[in-house]
Amino acid sequence: MPTNKEIKYKVQLDVAEYASYPFEKLKGEFILKDSPLKMDNPSLNFMTLSLRAYVKKHNPSQTLLAREVKKAKLTVKLLEDLIIKKIKG
Amino acid sequence: MKVVLKYLITFVLPGITFGQVVEKKTTWFKDNVSIRKTFDGSKNENKPATFSLYENHKSDNDYINADVAIKIKEWELFEDSGTVLTLFPVAEYHRSTNENDKKDKLSAGLNTEFYFGSKWNLKPYLLSNVAFKRNFMEGINEIKYVGQISLFGTKPGQPGYKWRFDNDGADYRGTYYPYLGYEYNEIPDLVTEGTTEIMSAIFFRVFLEHWFSPKSVQVTIDGIYRNLISTNAIKNDLPLINIALNYYPGNQSHISIGLDYKNGYDPDSKFTHVEITSLNLKFNF
């Protein structure tokens, strides 16, 4: 079972990769759909699939939905909390 | 004390509750409703709804145009799989006072998006749209289907990769997407007056978005090349390019003023050749 710190690191890595955003500049308060990240539908959907696989690896009874990731005001921090909850909740 | 309690019960508590309801509804609206120019199967492109004033270079016929499309709810299937399949209904209204191509159409349709191959370097996704249109101007119904495939990657140069400003915020600067697709239209009076004809085509399309300054000046280029499969009298090769320069005043991303230039064979004008510049008020939510 990964630690909270490891889960947060995985989420940040995925956001940085799918938003083509520098990892070292990523902040928890950034909203996925707003500037500066501006993640669009393909980015969010493919990131969902990556994080869903990660959730299922550690907690097969849980899943992650695209509509959860595409919420208007979802921040990096809220996404980290969501994944922690799904894996450990 | 009683007065304070009475004040709280009468004014403050209902206010808080109302505020929470409004906030809840606003969040629901933002999560479930989108307003754009169209949802023609390529909704990842940023096409705001428009109210436009057109200047037609080929005649003195200037006119007003409105294009509004609304998406209300998404349904997601295969929630435990390695794919994302999403369905959503859309409604669109398109109106034009152009003397050569008056338009008054209301349509209802179903869009699907299918994302798969997430472990591949270049990840494919499919988009489709089927729509039934009521043409109030001519009192007839039209049918349209569009299916297309595109690719997404996370490495520099790949479609979907976001290039960014070299500043502290590394703001979003642009991206591009290619599409290969098929479209099927049933259009009345396309070539012969009084008959509804089938127009089907394969197409290649490139959409590019680039911001010249963070969050304020944007250019979009949407180029499409259609090759007709159906055998009728109009041309077989139907290119169309649409270039838009948009300005977003203030620190917001919902309302813009745009200058659009369109040149080519336009499906909105029954695939006749058009060359049009337009000034638009655009909004998207």
Distance CA B20, CA B26 (A): 10
The reply to whether B55 touches chain A by the CB within 8 Å rule is: no
Give the pLDDT band (50/70/90) at residue B196: confident
Nearest residue to B278 via CA among B246, B240, B238 = B246
Q: Where are the domains of chain B?
A: 1-32, 35-283
Give the pLDDT band (50/70/90) at residue B70: confident
Find how far residue A16's CA is from the centre of its chain.
10
* pLDDT in the model for residue B59: 63
* pLDDT in the model for residue B86: 94
* pLDDT in the model for residue B254: 82
Which residue numbers of A have CB closer than 8 Å to B's CBs?
A: 17-22, 25, 34-38, 40-43, 45-46, 48-50, 52-53, 56, 63, 65-67, 70-73
* Cα dihedral value B228, B229, B233, B239, nearest 10: 0
For residues B65-75, give the mean pLDDT: 79
Please determine, looking at this structure, whether the domain spanning B35-283 carries the CATH number 3.30.2130.30.
Answer: no
How many angstroms separate the Cα of B14 from the Cα of each of A87, B1, B152?
Answer: 39, 19, 48
* pLDDT in the model for residue B56: 64
Taking CA–CA distances from B30, the nearest residue in chain A reads A72
* pLDDT in the model for residue B150: 96
* pLDDT in the model for residue B242: 94
Omega cis (within 30) before A36: yes
For each of the domains in chain A, give its residue range(s) and CATH number, in order of start: 4-88 (1.10.1200)
CA distance A4 to chain B (A): 23
For residues B175-191, give the mean pLDDT: 88
User: Could you read off the pLDDT of A5-61 as tens digits, one per residue?
Assistant: 999 999 999 999 999 999 999 999 999 999 999 999 999 999 999 999 999 999 999
Nearest residue to A51 via CA among A32, A27, A30, A24 = A32
Nearest residue to B282 via CA among B9, B33, B49, B10 = B49
Q: Is the pLDDT of residue B134 over 70?
A: yes
* pLDDT in the model for residue B1: 43
* pLDDT in the model for residue A75: 98
Number of CB pairs, chain A paired with chain B, less than 8 A apart: 87
Q: Is the pLDDT of residue B12 over 50?
A: no
User: Could you read off the pLDDT of B76-90 as tens digits, one per residue?
Assistant: 999 999 999 999 888
Q: Is the pLDDT of residue B267 over 90?
A: no
Concatenating the DSSP letter of every residue in B75-110 gives EEE-TTSSSEEEEEEEEEEEEE--TTS-EEEEEEEE
Chain-chain contact of A20 with B161 (C-beta, under 8 angstroms): yes
For residues B138-142, give the mean pLDDT: 82
Q: Is the pLDDT of residue B126 over 80?
A: yes
Distance CA B246, CA B281 (A): 9
* pLDDT in the model for residue B5: 46
The reply to whether B170 touches chain A by the CB within 8 Å rule is: yes
* pLDDT in the model for residue B178: 96
* Burial (Cβ within 10 Å: 0-12, 13-18, ≥19) of residue A46: buried
The reply to whether B123 touches chain A by the CB within 8 Å rule is: yes
Distance CA B218, CA B11 (A): 46
Give the pLDDT band (50/70/90) at residue B18: very low
For residues B42-55, give the mean pLDDT: 59
